[in-house]
Amino acid sequence: MSNARRDILAAVAAATEKDPNAAARVADRLSVHAANVIPQRGAEGEQVVSRFIEEAERAGTDIRQVSALADIPGVVSAYLREQNLAGDVRISSDPISLNIPWADEALIAVSHGAAEPDDTASLSVALCGIAETGTVMMKSSAENPVLLNYLPFLHVGLLPQSRIVGSLEMAWSALRRASGEGVMPRMVNLITGPSRTADIEQELLMGAHGPQKHMVIILKEE
Amino acid sequence: MNQIKTARFRENAHDALVDKQLQAVLGKFSDGFPVKRAQAIARMPEFDALRDAARDIKNHALENLGAYLEEFEAKVVASGGKVHWCRDAEEARQTVLSICRDADAKTVTKSKSMIGEEVGINDFLEDNGVEPIETDLGEYIIQLRKEPPSHIIAPAIHLSKQQVADTFRDNHRNRVSDRPLESPRVMLDEAREELRGKFLGADVGLTGANMLIAETGSIVLVTNEGNAELTCGLPRVHVAMASIEKIVPTLEDASTVLRVLARSATGQDMSVYTSFVTGPRRSEDLDGPEEFHVVLLDNGRTELLASELREILRCIRCGSCINHCPVYEAIGGHAYGWIYPGPMGAVLTPGLLGMEVANHHPNASTLCGRCETVCPMRIPLPSLLRKWRERQFTAGVTPVTSRYGLKVWAALARNPRWYRGLTTITSALLAKVAGKTGRLRRLPLAGGWTGSRDMPAPQSQTFMAQWRRRTAARKPGSRPGRS
Amino acid sequence: METSSTKPDAPNVALFVTCLVDVMRPSTGFAAVTLLEAAGCRVTVPDAQTCCGQPAYNAGDRKDARAIARLTIEAFDGFDYIVAPSGSCAGMIKMHYPEMFADDPEMKKKAEAVASRTWELTSFLVDVMEYTPTDVRFDRHVSYHDSCSGLRELGVKAQPRTLLANIDGVELTEGDSAEVCCGFGGLFCVKYPEISTAMVDKKIDDILATGANTVVAGDLGCLMNIAGRARRRGAPLDVWHVAEVAAGIADETGPIGGDAED
């Protein structure tokens, strides 16, 4: 509706100051995209790993730490058994996850591609971990289709330790390096814990529409 | 469903005050969100600095709104999406319906959208043969009950779990009718099962947007349930509705706002799911919608932008003001008669519906200021309420008795001699009537007070009268004045 | 707001008695004078004062509010300090008078001068005059109600409690909802009486839950509202203005609205 567009923008223009420097200021803000206040809790440094774990666990995430890809099938299998879940895991086609020796665990059956409604578990690879809030950042791609993060009962995020940063702002820098300036993948998902709701009498319940369980495996590379 | 009942505010409030079930729920209200917010803020020493930064970001965005809207549109289009501009609710409804018709949609899943409520999109779609299905648990419950939301974050907060159980029993027919539905856990699991199929079968997913990011053409979805991602990730078409003031310039600016949003809303440092959606699926994606539409609404925002009420446009819909309002705590959300309750509702509703229709909203407040104390965007809510009162007074919308009484009072206050005379007489009279008890049970013209309260009696002579006598006695022949 | 690092010596203080104190509870005004003089001030009560203009201002009647403000500003010109036994009236002058004359530079300057010297009573006594009561007794279990304007516009919180802490016999217990509005709100309490009553009931319940039999506050509107409802309910709660308690005249004056026992 081009008339609506014209009318709305005209009304906006009439309501705001006519400042000759405005256009330059706007262009500058967009291209520089400076950070504002970053709290101490989001600072970079050695503490980011322990802080990530602390904040993630506070949000209900199950954290596991491994030092080799080979450890992962055992961790996932143990968890599925603990939770009394079937062993099907739909995994990301990210090179890291493809290199996991899934065949080592007889009880796990892996599949690839887009998530299906009946999938029990999924594993996707995180672009970043954000220590400030214990959040993993997932970006959509051919290798990491979005619904891996949302459809299954258990979602496992694989997070290489070197990708843990202090703040969300650092994560955006990482994303811009990966995708390019001003270019976004279809979805960037920040995930902090398993799904939850408090809509019935303000009683907090974990496990709403998204995954009931959320695990992050921190991979400490050599 | 979202009928406008704002003119019935007094009656609505009365109904709320005598509703024992509602009062029981409201009685526990101050133990919930306010406590959680306080705990979250205690862990974030930079919170006040973040509020200042968030306010400045929004002020800048509003001051340059045109440029940022155009940038946003360009980026949406560059990523393969479409932007639809809508001046009012009717245009928005028609646009959404038209997209649904083009998609041959029979069902539309929805994640929570206040702008959707504002334009009445659910009823409209239903009237036109498209079934809308709310997926946020609270919205789902009130959709089944055919009620409006009573809170912008927790729409079903006014309900007891018994009421929710009854609603599920009445509506989830393919189940054993006497199955146990005691615990919220069981009810949640049942709702999850019911809605799972709806998510998977929907033709169109309709979301709101917490923010629109100009830098990238992204919309931001903030939930705890994950329903927004399933809503916009499964169907073939994703439609996001947002009003124009939702714009922020950059990803970094959005990050600042996010830091104050969840803490103010529910006391979480970050909501479980915060998603940035940009356009439809890319050619290499294995899942995702093929079409991405943003419906951009004015619906009264440009008028507010041009007015002295502009600051309400900084609102990020966190609900913190509502959670700390003693009036809301007394009467709940439905009493406000529309979809936006509490302090932000009292400022926004007259702006969107007109101050005659929402004439009570700016007045049913003591201006206690607690809302302003907690607002993450530092909106001066009491000042804005006062500005509405000024507009009402100038336009003659204030009830006649109030205006008359105020005029009399003001005339007296502007004339100290009349004032002294009249107050001396009144004071003596009331003191005499009250006698030894020191209080009056009935007072003409003050039924609003004496209906439920005694009126403490004056102490027989005004201070000024006594002071005059006292100072005259101290310095015979001199008049009180500056020393 | 000027803050003196040294206590002022015999300052000229104008008392803004406030309309409610003037008409309904002069003893509060006299208590204020007693306290100010005990603190070392020379107190004057300008004759031309009536009301701070809040009722008109909060009702949106800017024209009348300005006229009343103008009168008040003229009446209180030329003093070192202006002190009011009310957070809402002091707040009105201090926080709102200047912006009421934003379009009148000359008046705005005068307003700012008056505003900068205006104080609520308890904060003036404690923060400026460094005064605390001596030799005052009040044997009561008290809870304090923080009036909204005083608290949020002027930061009045610790000061009345400092005064009470220096009175012998006072046992102070804080209510969980000490900072929550009592439901007075000027015209609000008569325009929306049902909501107002619900709010004051919550306030009274909160105070009674502390075990206190006495509530003290710094604003007469709040106090009349609480007292009026307490008496109607027959609640075991007596009500005084903090100035009356601090000046040691509470017992002889009797509580606002009469005793709980009546």
User: If DSSP states are collapsed to H, E and C, what string results for B424-479?
Assistant: HHHHHHHHHHHHHHCEECCCCCCHHHHCCCCEECCCCCCHHHHHHHHHHHHCCCCC
Q: What is the DSSP letter of B28?
A: T
Please give the pLDDT value at position B483.
37
Give B410's contacts in chain C (Cβ within 8 Å): 55-56, 61, 64-65, 67-68
**What is the distance in angstroms between the Cα of B382 and the nearest Cα belonging to chain A?**
23
Evaluate whether C96 touches C134 at the Cβ level (below 8 Å): no
Question: What subunits make at least 3 CB pairs under 8 angstroms with A?
Answer: B
| Coil, strand or helix at B297 | strand
Q: What's residue B481's pLDDT? A: 45
Helix (H, G, I), strand (E, B) or coil at C143: strand
Span B111-141, pLDDT tens digits: 999 999 999 999 999 999 999 999 999 999 9
Quick one: what percent of chain B has pLDDT higher than 90? 82
Inter-chain residue contact C229 with B438, CB threshold 8 Å: no
Q: Does the beta carbon of B439 lie under 8 angstroms from any beta carbon of chain C?
A: yes
**B 182-221 residues with CB below 8 A of C?**
none
Side chain identity at residue B148, one-letter code: P
pLDDT band at B3 (very low <50, low <70, confident <90, very high): confident
- Contact yes or no for B482 and C79 at CB 8 A: yes
CA–CA separation, A202 and B25 (whole Å): 10
Q: Which residue of A has its CA nearest to B56?
A: A36
What are the chain B neighbours of C57 within 8 Å (beta carbons)?
Answer: 386
Percentage of residues of chain B with pLDDT beyond 70: 97
- For residue B362, the distance in angstroms to the closest alpha carbon of chain C comes to 10
Do C and B make contact via 3 or more CB pairs under 8 A? The reply is: yes
**Which pLDDT band, with edges at 50, 70 and 90, does B473 fall under?**
confident
Residues of A in contact with B79 (CB under 8 A): 184, 186
Distance, in Å, from the CA atom of A118 to the CA atom of A111, rounded to the nearest integer, reads: 12
Amino acid at C161: R
* Residues forming a β-bridge with A88: A109
Res B432: pLDDT: 86
Pairing assessment for the beta strands C214-217 and A213-219 based on DSSP bridges: unpaired
Strand ranges inside A116-153, DSSP E: 121-125, 128-130, 135-139
When pLDDT is cut at 50, 70 and 90, the band that residue B398 belongs to is confident
**Domains of chain C, residue spans:** 12-126, 135-253
**pLDDT value, residue C238:** 97
Chain B hits for C148, CB-CB cut-off 8 Å, are 366-370
Q: Provide the pLDDT for residue B476.
A: 57
Per-residue pLDDT, C2:
57
Give me the total of CB pairs closer than 8 Å, taking one residue from chain B and one from chain C.
222
Any contact of C with A, at least 3 CB pairs below 8 A?
Answer: no
Q: What is the pLDDT of residue A19?
A: 86
Give the pLDDT of residue A222: 58
Instruction: Check: pTM over 0.90? Answer yes or no.
Output: yes
Single out the residue of C61, A16, C59 nearest to residue B307, CA to CA.
A16
| Per-position pLDDT tens, chain A of length 222 | 569 999 999 999 999 978 888 899 999 999 999 999 999 999 999 999 999 999 999 999 999 999 999 999 999 999 999 999 999 999 999 999 999 999 999 889 999 999 999 999 999 999 999 999 999 999 999 999 999 999 999 999 999 999 999 999 999 999 999 888 878 999 999 999 999 999 998 899 988 999 999 999 999 975
Residues of chain C with pLDDT under 50: none
| pLDDT score for B482 | 41
Are the beta carbons of B270 and A192 separated by less than 8 Å?
yes
Partner B contacted by A196 (CB < 8 A): yes
Neighbours of C106 (CB within 10 A): 8
Asked whether the beta carbons of residue C180 and residue B13 sit closer than 8 angstroms, the reply is no
pLDDT of B282 strictly over 80: yes
What pLDDT, in 10s, does the model give residues B25-77?
Answer: 999 999 999 999 999 999 999 999 999 999 999 999 999 999 999 999 999 99
A96 CA: distance to closest CA in chain B (Å): 19
**Domains present along chain B, CATH in parentheses:** 32-299 (3.40.50.10420), 304-398 (no CATH), 406-472 (no CATH)
Best of B145, B255, B303, B309 to disrupt the A interface (most A CBs within 10 Å) is B255
Tell me how far apart the alpha carbons of residues A62 and A214 are, in angstroms, rounded to a whole number. 6
Class of domain C135-253: alpha beta
Shortest distance, CA B385 to any CA of chain C (angstroms): 9
Average pLDDT, chain B: 93
> Cα-atom radius of gyration of chain A, to the nearest Å?
21
**Close Cβ partners of B479 (under 8 Å, ≥ 6 residues apart):** B472, C47
Whether B444 has a pLDDT exceeding 80, the answer reads no
DSSP for C68-106, written as a single string: HHHHHHHHTTT-SEEEES-HHHHHIIIIIHHHHTTT-HH
- Contact status, residue B273 vs residue B222, Cβ threshold 8 Å: yes
Tokens 């974030």, residue? Answer: B44
How many other β-carbons are positioned within 10 Å of the β-carbon of residue C5? Answer: 4
From chain B, the residues in CB contact with A117 under 8 A are 196, 200
Nearest to A196 among B70, B87, B272 (CB): B272
Which residues sit opposite C168 in a β-bridge?
Answer: C137
Comparing CA positions, the residue from B157, B149, B145, B167 lying closest to residue B112 is B149
Of B454, B459, B479, the CB nearest to C25: B459
Please give the distance of CA A221 from its chain centroid, rounded to a whole number. 20
Phi and psi at residue C210, in whole multiples of 5°? -80, -10
Say what the pLDDT of residue B409 is. 84
Distance from C-alpha of A130 to C-alpha of A55, rounded to nearest angstrom: 9
Q: How many angstroms separate the CA of residue B194 from the nearest CA in chain C?
A: 40
For range B316-329, the mean pLDDT: 97
In terms of CA atoms, which chain A residue is nearest residue B156?
A: A199
- Cα–Cα distance measured from residue B481 to residue C14, given in angstroms and rounded to the nearest whole number: 10
